[in-house]
Structure 1
Amino acid sequence: MRFWPLWLMLLIISLVGCGATAPALPPIAANQPNQILLLNELDGVGANSTITVLAPTIFSQPRHLLAAAIELGDQPNAYQPTLSIPAQTLTITNSYGILRVNGVLKSSAEFEPISVKVVEPTSISLGELNQNLAVYNNQVVRLNGTLLLKDQAALLVEEVGSGGVPTANAAQITVEQIPSQSPIIQQLPNQQGNIRYGQLTIIGMLRGKTLYVFWLEAQP
């Protein structure tokens, strides 16, 4: 029988626990324009409800495509679910970005904007984020760190030592909506047992104590 190192057993338990105990998303209320929603929260919203959505977006003509997450490239790819808005509502020169859109949900795939705002991520360290969770709640942030991934349970850790072990008192945050099909995830350089890890940058929305991924970037 093979005996696992104690640190690896504890890390596996921590990752599994994060996947099992991630905070539930708040209940969805229709006609609440001040309540910021992610795309995976729209199932309970009825047609013709006025809502505010914050999402990564692929900018193209004749429609912009809001997505749960996107994979960057010359032609960004969108992950489900997706929602479209008319491109003429906003003039954009980039191929992707983040939009906060207040509007009327016409159907499960169609959104009629009332107001549209481009959102720029705030670059912040994990340590500063953990000390100011209430300040950055519902905000879009850019974080650098080491992603520890077991199946779909994930942690972003500020600093790790040899073998991917988080250093003492290293800041960390639970990560959700990891796009497992992303080449960046598939190419994480290190592995201990069934835990893969590597350094990357995550852009996403903070909700409580959990970061919801919009897209990933490889660190130089």
Structure 2
Amino acid sequence: MARRLVLFALLLVALAGCGQAAPDLPLYRAIAEAPAPTTTTTAPAQVAADSYSHPDAWTVADPNVQLDGPPYHIAAVTVPRIGIYDSPTAAAPRMVMSNKTEHGLDRVFLIAGQDNGRLKVLLPIRPNESVGWVQPSDVNIQELNYWIKVSTSGHSITVGNATQLLMQAPAAVGTGGTPTPLGVFYLTEVVRPVWQPYLGPYAFATSAHSNVLTSFMGGDGMVGLHGTDAPGSIGRAVSHGCIRIGNADITKLAMMLPLGTPLIVG
């Protein structure tokens, strides 16, 4: 409860700093009409190579990250480029990220806590469950109630909010050799992948990355949640790590879920 009160207080500070109300959640449900990329990628979207920079590999991860929700909280970047600190007390940012995703959607982070006046957020980079700290004045904080849980052993996906289950459906997950990574992640982008029909009508990018594949078909091994042109694969362990669901199901989620929605894979 104290944690939620602190986040609420930070929300008020952030709103006071920008002088206007935070945007409604539908702004974070925008869907990109993605053009065909020059290089085929295995996932629906990924952080553009020039959208963040850091001097060496990020080493701050929290494999025991705990989310206090629902409700959960997301941080939508409001400055052109946001500084990411590698500790709540670091004097200067170690990394900078743009306020837009590869396909031009608003960049959001899933908030995992706060410390020393900074927000602890999950980052969409390697290693999995990387965390950093951002200044509340650089973001708008929003509350959301949606969540996604994927069972790799049960080959299923469950979606809900604070009061009810909204979907339970079979899902295809990674094979034994290229498993879907386990952990706490979030949705970072959603596109209509018209250049790759095998991804179905919609595809979410996530903050998760394969623990086996560092690159694949031009991508960086980012794990997607998408539809499929092979419905017979649903409910089986057949992918390179991505999560596949039926096209009707992914369409429903694309219309429903805001970016920043937690994705818990177990």
Give TM-score scaled by structure 2 length: 0.23
Higher share in strand = 1
Give TM-score scaled by structure 1 length: 0.26
- Rg larger in 1 or in 2? 1
Q: Relative contact order: is structure 1 or structure 2 higher (C-alpha 8 Å, sep ≥ 6)?
A: 2
